[in-house]
A and B are shown apart, each in its own frame.
Chain A
Amino acid sequence: MPVDPAAIRSARVATPASAAEVAEELRAVAATGGTVLACGGGCFLDCGGPRHAPELLLRTSGMARLVFHEPHELVVRVQAGMTLAALQSVLATAGQEIPWDHPWPERQTVGGILASGLAGPRRFSKGMPRDHVLGLEAVLADGSVARPGGRVVKNVAGYDLTRLFVGSAGRLGVITEATLKVMPLPEDSFAATASFGTPEAAAAAAAAVTAAGLFPAFVELRGKWGEYTVAAGIEGFRESVAAGRDRLLGVLRGGGQVSEVRGASVRVFLSDWTRFPWERAGFVARISVPRSRLGAVLAAVEGPLAANAASGVIRVAPGRNLAPPEAADFLRRMHALAAGLGGWAAQERGPLQGAAAEPGLSARVRALAEGLRSAIDPAGCLSAGRP
Chain B
Amino acid sequence: MSVSDSLLQTLRGITGPDGVLTSAEARLAYESDALSFAKGSPDLIVIPRAASEVAPVVRALAAAGVPFLPRGAGTGLAGGACADRGGALIVLSRLRRILELEPADGYAVVEAGVVNLQLTRAAEPHGLLFAPDPGSQQACTIGGNVANNSGGPHTLKSGVTTNHVLGLEVVLPDGECVSFGGKAEDAPGLDLRGLFVGSEGTLGIVTTVTVRLTRPWPAWKTLLAAFPDFGSASRAVSAVIGAGIVPAALEMMDRLIVRAVEDAFHVGLPVDAGAILIVEVDGPREGLDRVAGEVERLCRTEGAGEVRVARTEAERAALWSGRKRAAAAVGRISPFYCMQDIVVPRSRLPEMAAAIGEIERESGVAIANLAHAGDGNMHPLVLFDDADPGQVARMQSAVVGIMRRAIALGGTVTGEHGIGLQKTALLPEMFGAADLDLMVRVKELFDPKGLANPGKVVPTGGWKPGAEDPRAG
A residues contacting B by CB (< 8 A) are 70-75, 95-96, 117, 119, 123, 127, 130-131, 140, 144-148, 150-164, 166-168, 172, 183-185, 187, 207, 211, 213, 215, 236-240, 242-244, 286, 288-292, 308, 311-313, 338, 342-344, 346, 357-358, 360-362, 364-366, 368-369, 371-373, 375-376
Contact B184 A154 (CB under 8 A): no
Contact B176 A161 (CB under 8 A): no
Residues of A contacting B419 in the complex (Cβ-Cβ under 8 angstroms):
156-158
Contact B413 A160 (CB under 8 A): no
CA distance A190 to B431 in the complex (A): 43
Instruction: Give the nearest-CB partner of A75 in chain B.
Output: B345
Most A-side CB within 10 Å, residue of B410, B436, B444: B410
Contact A154 B290 (CB under 8 A): no
CA distance A119 to B163 in the complex (A): 14
Please pick, from B192, B377, B410, the residue contacting A369 in the complex, using a CB distance under 8 A.
B192
Instruction: Give the nearest-CB partner of A364 in chain B.
Output: B178
Residues of A contacting B414 in the complex (Cβ-Cβ under 8 angstroms):
155-157
Please pick, from A290, A366, A372, the residue contacting B442 in the complex, using a CB distance under 8 A.
A372
Instruction: Give the nearest-CB partner of A96 in chain B.
Output: B244
Contact B469 A151 (CB under 8 A): no
Minimum CB–CB distance for A187 against chain B, Å: 8
User: A156-B418, A159-B457, A290-B102 are contacts. A242–B375 as well, Cβ < 8 Å?
Assistant: no
Most A-side CB within 10 Å, residue of B184, B290, B343, B433: B184
Contact A288 B155 (CB under 8 A): no
B384: interface (CB < 8 Å): no
Residues of A contacting B412 in the complex (Cβ-Cβ under 8 angstroms):
150, 152, 154-157
Contact A365 B441 (CB under 8 A): no
Please pick, from B198, B442, B443, B444, the residue contacting A156 in the complex, using a CB distance under 8 A.
B198
Contact B431 A158 (CB under 8 A): yes
Contact A338 B184 (CB under 8 A): yes
Minimum CB–CB distance for B123 against chain A, Å: 15
B350: interface (CB < 8 Å): no
B438: interface (CB < 8 Å): yes
Minimum CB–CB distance for B197 against chain A, Å: 7
B118: interface (CB < 8 Å): no
Residues of B contacting A311 in the complex (Cβ-Cβ under 8 angstroms):
185-186
Residues of B contacting A243 in the complex (Cβ-Cβ under 8 angstroms):
284, 286
Residues of B contacting A155 in the complex (Cβ-Cβ under 8 angstroms):
343, 412, 414-415
Instruction: Give the nearest-CB partner of B194 in chain A.
Output: A163
Complex interface residues of chain B between 246 and 261 (CB less than 8 A to chain A)? 246
User: A147-B435, A156-B419, A361-B188 are contacts. A74–B241 as well, Cβ < 8 Å?
Assistant: yes
Residues of B contacting A244 in the complex (Cβ-Cβ under 8 angstroms):
284
Most A-side CB within 10 Å, residue of B179, B287, B346, B427: B287
B32: interface (CB < 8 Å): no
CA distance A225 to B353 in the complex (A): 63
Residues of A contacting B344 in the complex (Cβ-Cβ under 8 angstroms):
152
B149: interface (CB < 8 Å): yes
Q: Which stretch (B104-112, B264-272, B391-399) binds chain A?
A: B104-112
Please pick, from A215, A290, A344, A372, the residue contacting B105 in the complex, using a CB distance under 8 A.
A290
Contact with A along B279-300 (1 / 0, CB 8 A): 0000111111011000000000
CA distance A167 to B104 in the complex (A): 28
Contact B345 A152 (CB under 8 A): yes
Complex interface residues of chain B between 344 and 396 (CB less than 8 A to chain A)? 344-347, 372, 375-377
B64: interface (CB < 8 Å): no
Residues of B contacting A161 in the complex (Cβ-Cβ under 8 angstroms):
195, 435, 438-439, 442
Residue pairs across A and B with Cβ atoms less than 8 A apart, 10 shown, are: A71-B242, A161-B435, A164-B194, A237-B283, A240-B287, A288-B184, A290-B107, A308-B185, A313-B184, A362-B179
Instruction: Give the nearest-CB partner of A244 in chain B.
Output: B284
Most B-side CB within 10 Å, residue of A96, A150, A376: A150
Contact B238 A159 (CB under 8 A): no
Most A-side CB within 10 Å, residue of B191, B217, B375, B437: B191
Contact B286 A344 (CB under 8 A): no
CA distance A211 to B127 in the complex (A): 11
Instruction: Give the nearest-CB partner of A150 in chain B.
Output: B412
CA distance A161 to B437 in the complex (A): 12
Residues of A contacting B246 in the complex (Cβ-Cβ under 8 angstroms):
74, 183-184
Complex interface residues of chain B between 152 and 194 (CB less than 8 A to chain A)? 155-156, 159-160, 162-163, 172, 176, 178-180, 182-194
Instruction: Give the nearest-CB partner of A151 in chain B.
Output: B410
User: A147-B469, A153-B155, A313-B185 are contacts. A184–B245 as well, Cβ < 8 Å?
Assistant: yes
Contact A215 B217 (CB under 8 A): yes
Contact B284 A156 (CB under 8 A): no
CA distance A29 to B435 in the complex (A): 22
Please pick, from A123, A238, A288, A365, the residue contacting B189 in the complex, using a CB distance under 8 A.
A365
Instruction: Give the nearest-CB partner of B219 in chain A.
Output: A240
Residues of A contacting B218 in the complex (Cβ-Cβ under 8 angstroms):
213
B7: interface (CB < 8 Å): no
B144: interface (CB < 8 Å): no
Please pick, from B194, B343, B347, the residue contacting A130 in the complex, using a CB distance under 8 A.
B194
Contact B347 A73 (CB under 8 A): yes
CA distance A279 to B53 in the complex (A): 50
User: A236-B284, A239-B290, A360-B188 are contacts. A160–B345 as well, Cβ < 8 Å?
Assistant: no
Residues of B contacting A168 in the complex (Cβ-Cβ under 8 angstroms):
190
Please pick, from A95, A163, A364, the residue contacting B195 in the complex, using a CB distance under 8 A.
A163
Minimum CB–CB distance for A270 against chain B, Å: 18
B411: interface (CB < 8 Å): yes
Residues of A contacting B311 in the complex (Cβ-Cβ under 8 angstroms):
none
Residues of A contacting B376 in the complex (Cβ-Cβ under 8 angstroms):
73, 152-154
Residues of B contacting A71 in the complex (Cβ-Cβ under 8 angstroms):
242
B417: interface (CB < 8 Å): yes
Residues of A contacting B285 in the complex (Cβ-Cβ under 8 angstroms):
240
Residues of A contacting B288 in the complex (Cβ-Cβ under 8 angstroms):
237
Complex interface residues of chain B between 1 and 39 (CB less than 8 A to chain A)? none
Contact A344 B347 (CB under 8 A): no
Residues of B contacting A172 in the complex (Cβ-Cβ under 8 angstroms):
190
B446: interface (CB < 8 Å): yes
B215: interface (CB < 8 Å): yes
User: A72-B347, A366-B189, A371-B445 are contacts. A95–B244 as well, Cβ < 8 Å?
Assistant: yes
Contact A364 B343 (CB under 8 A): no
CA distance A37 to B350 in the complex (A): 45
Contact A369 B286 (CB under 8 A): no
Minimum CB–CB distance for A63 against chain B, Å: 17
Residues of A contacting B372 in the complex (Cβ-Cβ under 8 angstroms):
154
